Each structure stands twice: as C-alpha cells, then as structure tokens.
Structure 1
Amino acid sequence: MNLSLQLHETAKTYAEKPAYYFMGQSSTYAELDEAITKFASGLEKLGIKQGDHVALLLGNSPHFIISLYGALRLGLTVIPVNPIYTADEIGYILNNGDVKVVVALDQALPLAEKMHTLLPKIEHYIFCETKPESLANAEIEKLSVYPKMKSFSNVVTSGDLTFQGLELKDDDVAIILYTSGTTGKPKGAMLTHKNLYSNAKDVGDYLKMNNGDRVVTVLPMFHVFCLTVALNAPLLSGATMLIVPKFSPKEIFELIKDYGATVFAGVPTMYNFLYQYPEGNPADLKSLRLCVSGGASLPVALLNNFEKKFNVLISEGYGLSEASPVTCFNPLDRPRKAGSIGTSILHVENKVVDELGEEVPVGGVGELIVRGPNVMKGYYKMPEETVASIRNSWLHTGDMARRDEEGYFYIVDRKKDLIIVGGYNVYPREVEEVIYNHPDVVEVAVLGVPDPDQGEAVNAYVVSKNSGLTKEQVREHCKEQLAKYKVPSTIEFLEELPKNTTGKILRRALKTQITQAVGKYDF
C-alpha cells in the first residue's frame, strides 16, 4: 500500500466529504482525487517518467497536495523545498537532487529566470497561478526560460481521468527530504513509500485520528512534521484538513472556533504565541480534543500553563526527517507525562545506548537510536554518511535521552549541544526549563561558549515581556534550582531569537549572530 493509492480508496468511501478547506474554498475527496489523477496524467504527457525527480517550491495550499500525490501516483520522487530559501540554497538542492521538474508559485518566476541556465537538467517549470492568467502569461513570455514554462492549471486540464497510476514497490524512494544542514551542506534523506505510509498510518492510529476530525494544517507542508501528522495521516483517516497559509494567533483562534477544529499540530513557538496572545479566549478552543507538539522540546512550564489556560491536552512527540519522522508520542489512553516525548509508537523501537552501543540502565543518559519500517533508506548520493547513521538497522539520532521505568522517553539535549563545564556535563535544555519557569520570560536559548578556566561556560539568551527584568534576577532564579556550575555565567536580553520556518529556535544561527556581534567567540 502507498499514500496515493490509499487516498484513491479513501475517495471512494468518502467521495462527498470535504478533504480540505482553504481560504474560504473547499474540495471533496472525489474532487481532490480527480485533480491528482489528472495532474499525474498531465506530467506523463510531458514526458516525465517513473523515477524522475520533481521539486515542490510551494507553501501550504491545495497545489502542494495535488502536486505531491500526483507525482507519487506517477512513481516520481518528490523533493519538497522551503520556498523562502535563497537562490543558492535552492540551487544546491535542485542540482544535488537531480531535479527534472519544478512546481512553484508564479511569484518565483524571477528565481527561475536566474537559475535556469545554471540548472540545465530541469526540463519543465510548472507555475501555480496566483495572478490573473493574462498577467501571468505576459510575464512568462518575457522570460528566457519561457519554452520550459508550463501552467499548473493547463497540466491538470491536459490530464486524463482514465490514468490508472503505476505499480509502485514498497522500497521505491517516494520523497527526498533535505535536512536543515546545521553542519555542512544539507543531506537528502530518502524516504520510501513504505516509510511514509507506515508512519502516517501508525501516527493516525496512535492519535485516534478519524473521519470526524478537522485538523489544523498550519505547519509548513514542506516540513516532515506537517507532512506526516497534519497532511498524510488526516488523508489516510478520511479527516478534513483546515489549511492555513501562514501562522497567526488571531487567525488560528478564529479558524478553530469557526470550523470546529478537533486537532491542532504545532511547534513550541506556536504554543507560546497562542498562550501569550492577549485576546486568546479559551472558549474558542473548546472544540479541540487534542493538541500535538513536536519539532523541538516543549518547555514544561509552557505545556502546563497552556493546558491550564485552555483546558486541552497537549501530546508531545518526537521525530526526525530520517524516520519519516515520528518515533514517539505521549499515549492518549494513559497519563501524559510533562517533559516526556512519550512511548514508542506501534511498530517502532526506541532505545538509549552508550558510546559502545550497549543499552543503558533505566534513568541513564545515552544516545537515542531508532528502528522500524519508518527509518529512511539512506542519504541520497552519500553512502558514507548513510553507513555512519544507520548501523545494524538502527538509526542513530544524535539526540541524548533517557527512559523511565514505564517506557517513557525524555530528550535531554542534542549530543552536539552538550556543554562541558570543568568536566561536568550541562544540558542546555535543563537550564532552559528552569529559566522558562520565570513568569517574565517568553523565550530562552542556552549555549556553551569557550572559557579559559572551565573549558566552556553557560550563556543564556532571554526574551522577556518585562523590560524591568534584570540579569541578576534571572541568575538568582537559576541559583534556586540549579547546581552552581549549571547557572549561566552570562545572561543577555534579546528582542527575539532566530527561528526556522517551523518556529524552531536555531541555536547555531544564534551562535553565528553572537559571534558577529561580539567578534570574540570561536564556536
């Protein structure tokens, strides 16, 4: 079974049920499936064949879903790309990913003009219209890349509903997800049809997703968290997606209230914005049966405050691109443990090991490794990195974790973010949790910086809602709950912390920002 085939079957069962709502418009499952079939057929008529690579430079929209599932139905490999990346970042992925077709909004026309001579392998640029057709056509005809240009609507119109799709193998690569590239160039994680289908199915089952659910799809669709939890899993379950192009606390409150949303999936930053929103009315969220958090560790103070204020359960989970992505979630049929990423989902094993690969005792800290049908095939054109990451069928995540006696896992921190102060281990998240508990703190990030005496020192970068909060007050707050060597030696107040498009705080970008500002730290 694969995602596109299953959607075709779901469309038979729920033909007239809304598959999604988007900016006041909607589509039934039957209409969505027809558009997917015709788009796949239209691509085939352009000479695109099974195994070819297609890149999606799209935000949250029906275009993304139709392009994704249409490409999968034709047996293509899809490469979702963040459309706000720079030309150099996009160019690297398109070149490294051997892309033949690019699907993008017409707003990216200048980008195509700039890149097409540098990327001769690209045979077609398919542009999704956001402007009046006559205006878009006039702009396209002026471009030197014009012969390669195609209109999304024309590709769909040219397709045939008689198209049956191709026979796909479970281990065929369906999607290549390029990691954020915190060190060096991004790596393309190859996810198979089996990886994607199994994880979407298991996540949907674990969260008890059903055809009565209305899921807020506001996380970026090109990101694996949204792709599985808020797009693939709902479509497998016959649920309805409430597609939001861009996160706004005001719009989210209105959407949930107006459409009776039942599931919200977000990252910790989104929950923080919703909690801090002055006009946030708990009554507007009464239809929610579940909130899901992932992408980064959710501060315990924020989790408790949010649940108390809005009277809705947050189930925190864990995943990574290389695992399609979910490996753990807090179960719904047992107590949720604050600070935990939950237990292993169905068919997936998680284990905490030491440097020798031996499982550590309960409560001990080690590296989290994962095994299951969701684990990637490998990194695209990077065999050495694949061998280093997957050993004896276990994916090594690089995250430090511990497990309690009931099988709940807790992320301690990224292995590479560990701070060593005078020989003692300091995990940034532990310090961040304490600072988050201060009532005046909105956000915080903790980093290790070189120190001539202790090897490294702990620095905290704080965003506060109280301009009167002092560094000494934060330090005294830390002293009450942390050992002396864990208390930040330096505390700086910032207007905001750097984040990626999913809202995850970027420690590496913060390090770069600080290095440029002070010019003295060698990270």
Structure 2
Amino acid sequence: MIPNYTNVHLKFKLDGLSYKYDDLMEIAYSYVKEGEPYQQDLGNFLLDWLDRHDYVVVKTSGSTGKPKSIKIKKQAMVNSAIATGDFFNLQPGDKVLNCLPSNFIAGKMMIVRAIMLGLELDMTEPAALPLIDYEKDYTFCAFTPMQLKNFAKYLQSIKVAIVGGGMVSKPIIESIKDKKPLVYETYGMTETVSHIAVKKLNNFSGSESIETSYFNTLPDITVSQDERNCLVIDAPQLSDKKIVTNDVVKLHSNTSFEWLGRYDNVVNSGGIKLFPEQIEKKLQNKIKGEFFIASKPDDTLGEKLILVMEAKEDNLDRSIFDVLDKYEKPKEVIVVPKFKETSSGKIHRKKTLKMINI
C-alpha cells in the first residue's frame, strides 16, 4: 500500500532524533526562527510539506529557461520517493545524508524520501566540500558534480551515491572508478519531481563500461521520442500527462536512453548538426576553468561554432582541439571575465551570450 503524504514513517529520524507529525511542525518553526540559513530552508520546506495543501510550490533552476515556480503534487513526490527507494533498495532505518539545498527539488526530495521511507536523515550545510562525520557510514547520498569531485576520497563511508544538476566530467568519473561505493548519474528536472532515470558511473563488471552505460528509468516509467528526437517521459505516478522535454536522446529501449544534448543548444553549421554538450565532454579535462560551446551567425556556414571561456585573457592552446572531429572544432574562442549564472549557480548560456552581443 502506497503511503499518503500526510504520513510520517515510524522509523524516520532527523539528525539522530525521531519525530512524529506534530513534532516536525514544531522543529520546523524552530529552524525558521533560530536556525542557520540552510536550516531555515529546511524549516520552510517542512512547513510547506505539513500544511493543508496537497501541493508544494517549487522553483526551477533556470538553467534551460526563465526560472519559474511550479506546483507539484505532494503525492507525486511520495511516489517518486518510493520509486527511488525501490530502485536502490533503501530500507527503513538506513542512514542517509543530505548536503543539497532544501529550496530546490533535489534537496526537498531527500527529505521526502526520509520521511516516507523511514530513513535516518543527517542534514549538513550545502557546500563544495560538505562537512560531515567521516567515521559515520551512510547508505545513500546525493551530490552535485562539484561536491562529488571534492568528496571523492571520502566516498568509502557511503554505499550508494547519486550525482546530478550538471555534467559529470571525465576527470570526476576517473576519480571514482576504483571507489567502493556505487555512483550513479541522474536524469531529471523539477517537472519530473527529481530524477526519473539513472546511469551507472563506476564498479563495472564483465563487458560493462562507461561507454556502454546508459540512463535506465526508475520503476513504472517509460520513455519515447517526439519528431525532434527529444525525450518524452511517461510517468503516470508523477504526472497526469506525458512530459515533453527539449533533451535530444538516442533511445535504446522504452526504459533506456543516451542523452545527446539540449535541442535549443544544437548548432547547425554548414548543414552539420553539432551537439555542444558532446563537444564539451571531450574538452572537459583539457580546459581549466568554466567554458561552453555555442555558435554565432556566419554568412557562409549559417552558424559558426565558438568556444566561450571564463578567463582574463585568451591563452588557450589550440592543440587541445585535436581530440575533436573535423566539424566539432571551434572556429573562434571568446573570453568573458565572468559568466552569467542561474540562481542555483549554473552557467546561464543565453544571458552570457547576450552579454557579448551574440
């Protein structure tokens, strides 16, 4: 039987203490009034979760469009939590760590999973390198790519880790390939109530490898493509209608896919379709600092491929482009002192390009 969002699991603990429904309301008020900033965010979410409404209002990150607030059904969040619990075999009493901000969907869902599945949740302030008790073992944790990079040498204390919210670079994947914990990259967005699919990043066996590892959907979720080859998600437990994305994918089955890039980022240069995200992946360990691939109008090609780099000056060694195919090589490098960012700290490509009149 699927629990209702008004339930609090008997085994749920927050920072080592057990709470029932009324207790949670009291601690939420306490956090909002007297807590650290990250605890205030936690308190505000708990107050939203415990109110009389059957939905919560969640902010999108703004990385793929204008930031907006959307209503998400609380029961859909419960269903998402159960799907994650089933996929990773999370059991009541398992210890989990949340080092993500509680004002975005990924952090909120860590809290909901704990409340619904009876997990023992430890909260820590979101930071590039979260401060935790390294002597304590955790069953499950979620990271951003930067957190995973900085936390890689301490992963022995975690059984399963998921990473999302940005591209996981080759150097990061290299740093975890021999680590004991299972690490999965996630695919999802606010509209899908956190992740709907995961991809294994390490601990491969037999013929498995990072090159043949694709996103696999959580239970009861299937995928297809529209006429643009963009991903369409059918998740009845999360949404009343199919979710059409702007993510171009290669389908391997109705539950498995390979992510290629954003439809709105695709560059058509001289009739050749190029995916900036795939090019960025090849250059990830070649360039220090932030960068991205984009395009600018060109009389001959229609669109000319460019590399935009956050730096004081252009000191880029062009030989790094040797790892790219002929048509993937940028025709121009543009230096920007500081990129525009979204509210969640991601590069805002469109605003950055607008800033340099592209």
TM-score by length of 2: 0.82
Contact 2:136 2:157 in 1 (8 A): no
Q: 1:315 to 1:421 in 2, by over 3 A?
A: same
Residue aligning to 1:140: none
Query: Which of the numbers 204, 217, 223 marks the counterpart of 1:350?
Result: 223
Counterpart residue number, 2:293 = 446
> Is the contact between residue 314 and residue 335 of structure 2 (CA under 8 Å) also seen in structure 1?
no
CA contact under 8 A between 2:59 and 2:104: conserved in structure 1?
Answer: no
Give 3-state SS (helix, strand or coil) of 1:430's partner. Answer: helix
Residue 249 of structure 2 corresponds to: 401
Q: Work out the CA distance in 2 between the residues paired with 1:492 and 1:40.
A: 47
> Counterparts of 1:332-347 in structure 2 under 5 Å?
338=210, 342-347=215-220
Aligned equivalent of 1:217, options 87, 94, 98: 98
Give 2:269's match in structure 1, choosing from 409, 421, 439: 421
Asked whether the equivalents of residues 444 and 460 of structure 1 are also in contact (C-alpha less than 8 Å), the reply is yes
Q: Provide Cα deviations, 1:92-121, integer angstroms capped at 9, x if missing partner.
A: xxxxxxxxxxxxxxxxxxxxxxxxxxxxxx
1:103-114 matches, within 5 Å, as none
Which secondary structure does the structure 2 equivalent of 1:204 belong to? Answer: helix
Question: C-alpha distance in 1, partners of 2:77/2:306?
Answer: 39
Please say if residues 308 and 335 of structure 2, whose CA atoms lie closer than 8 Å, have aligned partners that are also in contact.
yes
Alignment of 1:112-123 (within 5 A): none
CA distance in 2, matches of 1:256, 1:492: 43
Q: 1:433 to 1:182 in 2, by over 3 A?
A: closer
Partners of 2:122 and 2:102 lie apart in 1 by 12
> Which residue does the alignment assign to 2:184?
315
Is 1:240 the counterpart of 2:240? The answer is no
After TM superposition, give the deviation of residue 184 of structure 1 in Å: 7.5
Aligned equivalent of 1:476:
319
Q: Which residue matches 1:199?
A: 80
Question: RMSD across aligned C-alpha pairs, in angstroms?
Answer: 3.5
Partner of 2:351: 509
Greater Rg over alpha carbons, structure:
1
2: CA distance between counterparts of 1:39 and 1:3?
21
- Distance in 2 (alpha carbons) for counterparts of 1:495 and 1:445: 14
Q: CA deviation at 1:504?
A: 3.1
- Structure 1 residue 274, shift from structure 2 partner: 4.3
Q: Which moved more, 1:334-343 or 1:414-423?
A: 334-343
Distance 1:469 1:256 in 2: 42
Residues 368 and 397, structure 1, Cα contact 8 Å, conserved in 2: yes
d(CA) in 2 for partners of 1:501 and 1:266?
Answer: 18
Q: Contact 1:270–1:503 at 8 Å: present in 2 too?
A: no
Once the 2 structures are TM-superposed, how far is the Cα of residue 270 of structure 1 from its aligned partner?
2.7
How does 1:87-486 map onto structure 2 within 5 Å? 172=54, 174-181=55-62, 186-228=67-109, 230-249=110-129, 252=130, 254-274=131-151, 282=153, 284-299=154-169, 301-308=170-177, 310-330=179-199, 338=210, 342-355=215-228, 366-376=229-239, 393-404=241-252, 407-438=255-286, 441-462=288-309, 470-471=315-316, 473=317, 475-482=318-325, 484-486=326-328
Greater shift, 442-451 or 410-419, is seen at 442-451
2:219 alignment partner, SS class:
coil
- Cα drift, residue 343 of structure 1: 0.7
Matched, 1:29 2:18: yes
Contact 1:202 1:345 in 2 (8 A): yes
Q: Is the 8 A contact 1:401 1:412 kept in 2?
A: yes
> Amino acid of the residue matched to residue 232 of structure 1?
V
Q: Is the 8 A contact 1:224 1:325 kept in 2?
A: yes
The gaps in structure 2 that reach 5 residues or longer are: 30-35
> Tell me, what secondary structure is at the counterpart of 2:264?
helix
Task: Return the structure number with greater strand share.
Answer: 2
TM-score by length of 1: 0.58
Offset, 1:353: 2.9
Asked if the contact 1:330/1:337 (under 8 Å) is kept, the reply is no
**1:33-72 map, 5 Å:** 33-37=21-25, 59-61=37-39, 63-72=40-49
CA separation of 1:183/1:503 partners in 2, compared to 1, >3 Å: closer, same or farther? closer
Task: Show CA shifts across 1:264-290 (max 9, x none).
Answer: 312223334446xxxxxx3x3311112
> CA–CA distance in 1 between the matches of 2:119 and 2:135?
17
How far is the alpha carbon of 1:186 from its aligned partner?
4.2
